[in-house]
Amino acid sequence: MEGLRALITHLWCVWVFLILSLGDAKVRHYNFNVEYFFKSVDCVESLVMGINGQFPGPTIRAEVGDTIQVAVTNKLSTEGTAIHWHGIRQYGTPWADGTVYVTQCPINPGETFHYKFKLDKAGTFFYHGHNALQITGGLYGSIIVDLPKGEKEPFEYDDEINLLLSDWWHKSIQEQEVGLTAHFENFRWVWEAQSILINGRGQFGCSLGANFINHTLPVCQFKGDEDCAPYILSVLPNKTYRIRIASVTSLLSLNLAISNHKMVVVESDGHYVEPFTVDKIDIYSGESYSVLLTTDQNPNQNYWISVGHRDDNVSTTPALTLLNYQNISDSILPSFPPPVTPPWYDVEERKVFSRKVVALKGTPQPPKYSQRRIVLIGMQDVIDGYLKWSMNGISLELPTTPYLGSMKFNIKNAFDWQDPPENYPEDYDIYNPTTYHNSTVSNMVYKFEMNQVVDVILQNCNSYALNSTGFHPWHLHGHDFWVLAYGDGKFKDGDEKLFNLENPPLKNSVVVFPYSWTAIRFRADNPGVWLFHCHMEPHFHTGMGVVFAEGVQYVKGIPEQALACGLTAEMLMNKGDSQSIIKNI
C-alpha cells in the first residue's frame, strides 16, 4: 500500500510539473564567460574568479517551468571548470548537474559547455564552481525562482532583498590546493578566511564598527564607489521585506543578525517552513533561507547588519553593513554597538535553531518506512602519508572518467564497482577513536533501486588524526531530503523513535553537530549519479563525500561534451560514428 501511494504521489508530481511547464514557461538564455580578473573585494586587490567580469556572477531569475540554457565558456588559461546549479534537482538532465568527473568532463580552456535544465520549484538557490577549489576563488552567483504568474506565496511582503554570503582568502586557491594535497609532513591547512563578504563585498584592515569592537582596527572610510564599500540595504519605513539569504562559504558557518529587528523565517532550501521568529539566524555552507523583516523601528537612524562566523580558533572579523531607512543618509553609522555573534561552543543554541525549522502544513510527508539504511561516519586519517577525510573508511577520490557515462555504458575499469560499506564497526568509540585506523582511498558508488526509500545517518565523531571535531554541512545533489532528526552521541537501534515523520523539513543541505548524528530520508527517484558531500570545500577536496546512483539505465540525452574525456572518450573514438551513439544514449 505504501509503495502504491508513493507511486501515485510521484506520478501526480510529474503531471503537475508538466502542466506548469506548458503555461507561460520561457526559455531563458545566458552566456557565462568564466575568467580571472583583479578586484579589491575586501579592500585588498587580488585575483577573483568571476563571470563576464562580474563578481559575484550574474543573478539568474526565472519562474517555475522555465527552461534555463547557459553557455559556459572557460576563459581560464590553465584549468578546467564546471558550474553546479545548487538546489536544482535536474530531473531528466543529470548531465547538467555540473560536477566534474561525476556528471561531466571538465570544460577545458577555450571550450564551451551548454547546460540546459528545467526549473521545477520556486525558491532561493545559487550556482558555483564544482572543480578543485574554484568556489573558494569566487565562482558563484544567485538563482532566484519565482512562482508562476497568478500563484501566491503563503506569506506577504512588499519588496525583497537578496544576500549572498561568502568567505574570502588572500591566499590563492592554487596555493591552498597544494597545501591540502601535500604529503602529511608538508601539509598546510587553509586556516581562517581573511574576510566575510556580503554580496561580494567585505572589509579587511578596517571595520565599520571599530569604535564598538575591542580591537585595533581603524574605522572604515568610504566614498561609496570602491569595490569593497559595504552593500547597503536601503528600505522604506513600515514595509515588510523578504530577505533571501544564501551561504556559499567554503569553510565558515555564519550567524546573521540585524540590530533592533526581528526576522521571521519562512523558507529553507526552496521549501516553505512554519514561520518562526528569531533575533539571529544560523546558516551553514550550502543552505539558503528567506526571512521576513518589518521596518517598524525609528526611521531616523540606521541599524547594523552583522554577519559573523561561528567557528573555533578563527579570528575573521565579522562583516558589517547597514539597514538604511531612507529618511537619513546611509553614511551615518549607528550610535550603538553591532549585534555580537554567539560563541562557537554554544552548540545548544545552534541545535535549537535547527530544530525550529519544520515543514509548513501541506508539505509532502516522508514515507513512513525506509527500505535501506546507510550509516556514514566521517573521520580524518593519514592514508599512505596524506591527511584525508573518509566516510566509513573510504576517502573519495573521483575517477578521471565521469561516473554518469561509465555507468551508462557499463565500463568496468572506469572506477571501483564494489559496494562501499554501509556502516562502521559497532565498537568504534566516537569520542576516543583508537580503532578503525585503516581508511583507504577509493571511488566506490552506493547503488540504489529506482524509487527506493533510503535513510542516511550522518555520524560525527572525534578525528583520529587531529583529536578534534566540528560542524559539517552536507549537501545532496539531485534530490531534496527530509531531515528526520538531530541526535546526540552515537546513533543506536531504537533512536528511530526520535524521527519526526509528521512535519520534517525538506532540504538539500543539513548540518551535523559535534559528537552527534543527523538522520535524513529521501526517495531515489531521479535517474543519474549524484554527489553527497560535506560542503566545506577543504573537507570535500580531501575525501569527505560519497556518490549515489539510481536508474542510470533510464538516462537519455547525455551530450557528447559530457563524455569527451577518459574512457568514454576512447569509447566514442573507437566506435567511429559517435553521432549514432549519442542518439541512443
Does 578 map to a domain? no
Summarize the confidence of residues 416-437 as an average pLDDT: 84
Which cell is 122 given?
Answer: 520556486
Q: Which residues of 110-127 are buried (b: 16+ CB within 10 A; e: fewer)?
A: eeebebbbbbbbbbbbbb
How far apart CA 375 and CA 575 sit, in angstroms, is 41
Q: Is residue 44's pLDDT more than 70?
A: yes
Query: Are 496 and 380 part of one and the same domain?
Result: yes
Does 1 map to a domain? no
CA angle 161, 231, 216 (to 5 degrees): 135
**Residues 6+ away with beta carbon under 8 Å from 463:** 379, 380, 433, 469
Does 581 map to a domain? no
Does 345 map to a domain? yes
Which cell is 277 given?
Answer: 521568529
Query: Are 132 and 204 part of one and the same domain?
Result: no
Summarize the confidence of residues 48-70 as an average pLDDT: 98
Q: Is residue 398's pLDDT more than 60?
A: yes
pLDDT at 24 (0 to 100): 72
Query: Are 352 and 385 part of one and the same domain?
Result: no
Domain with 322 in it: 159-356
How far apart CA 143 and CA 162 sit, in angstroms, is 10
The CA distances from residue 389 to 173, 426, 442, in Å, are 19, 20, 12
How far apart CA 354 and CA 574 sit, in angstroms, is 53
How far apart CA 131 and CA 100 sit, in angstroms, is 6
Summarize the confidence of residues 552-581 as an average pLDDT: 84
Q: Is residue 440's pLDDT more than 60?
A: yes
Higher pLDDT, 548 or 462: 548
Work out how many domains the chain is built from and give that number.
Answer: 3
How far apart CA 524 and CA 478 sit, in angstroms, is 9
Q: H or E segment at 378? A: strand 372-383
Phi, psi of 455 (to 5 degrees): -100, 135
E runs forming strands in 6-158: 27-39, 46-51, 60-63, 67-74, 83-86, 112-118, 123-129, 140-146
pLDDT at 462 (0 to 100): 85
Query: Are 384 and 511 part of one and the same domain?
Result: yes
Nearest to 203 by CA among 237, 184, 181, 226: 226
Q: Is residue 5's pLDDT more than 50?
A: no
Model confidence pLDDT, tens digit, residues 308-365: 999 887 889 999 999 999 989 999 999 999 999 998 889 999 999 999 999 999 999 9
Burial grade of 29 (CB within 10 A; 0-12, 13-18, 19 or more): exposed
pLDDT at 263 (0 to 100): 98
Q: What mean pLDDT, rounded, does the chain reach?
A: 92
Q: Is residue 3's pLDDT more than 70?
A: no
**Residues 6+ away with beta carbon under 8 Å from 440:** 383, 390, 393, 394, 395
pLDDT at 314 (0 to 100): 83
How far apart CA 585 and CA 561 sit, in angstroms, is 13
Does 6 map to a domain? no
pLDDT at 468 (0 to 100): 72
Query: Are 376 and 472 part of one and the same domain?
Result: yes
pLDDT at 214 (0 to 100): 64
**Residues 6+ away with beta carbon under 8 Å from 191:** none
Q: How confident is the model at residue 436 (pLDDT cuts 50, 70, 90)?
A: low
Which cell is 308 given?
Answer: 559573523
Summarize the confidence of residues 187-192 as an average pLDDT: 92
Nearest to 507 by CA among 195, 184, 181, 124: 124
Query: Are 186 and 297 part of one and the same domain?
Result: yes
17-21, 205-209, 567-571: least confident range: 17-21
Query: Are 383 and 344 part of one and the same domain?
Result: no
Task: Give the 3-state secondary structure of residue 250.
Answer: coil
Q: Given the DSSP bridges, would you call strands 303-309 and 319-325 parallel, antiparallel or unpaired?
A: antiparallel
Domain end residue (candidates: 125, 146, 167): 146
How many Cα atoms are found within 13 Å in the side-chain-facing hemisphere of 336?
A: 10
The CA distances from residue 241 to 27, 199, 231, in Å, are 29, 17, 16
Query: Are 108 and 165 part of one and the same domain?
Result: no
Summarize the confidence of residues 553-570 as an average pLDDT: 95
421-425, 430-434, 536-540, 557-561: least confident range: 430-434
pLDDT at 311 (0 to 100): 85
Summarize the confidence of residues 271-299 as an average pLDDT: 98
Report the CATH number at residue 97: 2.60.40.420
Percent of the chain with pLDDT over 90: 84
250-254, 468-472, 507-511: least confident range: 468-472
Model confidence pLDDT, tens digit, residues 160-183: 999 999 999 999 999 999 999 999
Does 523 map to a domain? yes
Query: Are 398 and 534 part of one and the same domain?
Result: yes
Higher pLDDT, 92 or 434: 92
Query: Are 464 and 423 part of one and the same domain?
Result: yes
Does 5 map to a domain? no
Query: Are 491 and 521 part of one and the same domain?
Result: yes
256-260, 328-332, 462-466, 473-477: least confident range: 462-466
How far apart CA 482 and CA 506 sit, in angstroms, is 5
Which cell is 86 given?
Answer: 545548487
Q: Is residue 11's pLDDT more than 50?
A: no
Q: How confident is the model at residue 574 (pLDDT cuts 50, 70, 90)?
A: confident
